[in-house]
Structure 1
Amino acid sequence: MKTYTRQQLALRNGQDKPEIWVAYKGTIYDLTTSRLWKKGMHYEHWAGQDLTDELVDAPHTEKVFEKFLAIGQLT
């Protein structure tokens, strides 16, 4: 699987680049097609970031990432 830096991830925020990516536990997921992440924002969360520490506040579990394509690893 391809690796990406935090800086490369940060650009995939739905604004600087059209892709909407987030990382969770070192894996990067493409959320571009998610209707809940339009414009790179989902409630108070922003795309282009590692959301590992933020998931504890979410009303869902990490199983939500099973719906999306894992496209890389965060280095």
Structure 2
Amino acid sequence: MKAYSRQQLALRNGQDKPEIWVAFKGKIYDVSRSRLWKNGKHYEHWAGQDLTDELVDAPHTANVFDKFEPIGQLIDQ
């Protein structure tokens, strides 16, 4: 699986590049096809970020990521 830095993830926010990516528990997911992430925003959450810590406040479980194949691994540089 390809590794991406937080800076690379941040560019996939639906604004700077057409891809809409989010990270969760070290994996990066392409959520571009989700209507809930239109324009890189999902309620008060923005794409291009690691959402691991934010899931606690979500009205759903981590199973929501089962809909998407991981496309990469988030690395800290």
Task: Give your verdict on TM over 0.5.
Answer: yes
Task: Summarize the alignment of residues 6-45 of structure 1 with structure 2, pairs less than 5 Å apart.
Answer: 6-45=6-45
Matching residue's letter, 2:45: H
Matching residue's letter, 1:20: I
What is the root-mean-square deviation in Å for CA atoms of aligned residues? 0.3
Question: What CA distance in whole angstroms lies between the structure 2 residues aligned with 1:69 and 1:31?
Answer: 9
Matching residue's letter, 2:38: K
Matching residue's letter, 1:31: V
Question: What CA distance in whole angstroms lies between the structure 1 residues aligned with 2:74 and 2:21?
Answer: 11
Matching residue's letter, 2:33: T
Q: 1:42-69, CA deviations, whole angstroms, 9 ceiling, x for partnerless residues? A: 0000000000000000000000000012
Question: What CA distance in whole angstroms lies between the structure 1 residues aligned with 2:49 and 2:19?
Answer: 12
Q: TM-score, normalised by structure 1?
A: 0.99
Task: Summarize the alignment of residues 38-53 of structure 1 with structure 2, pairs less than 5 Å apart.
Answer: 38-53=38-53
Pairs aligned (count): 75
Question: What CA distance in whole angstroms lies between the structure 1 residues aligned with 2:23 and 2:4?
Answer: 10
Question: What CA distance in whole angstroms lies between the structure 1 residues aligned with 2:55 and 2:3?
Answer: 22
Matching residue's letter, 1:2: K
- Paired residue secondary structure (2:9): helix
% of aligned pairs identical? 80
Q: TM-score, normalised by structure 2?
A: 0.96
- Paired residue secondary structure (1:29): strand
Structure 1: gaps (5+ residues) = none
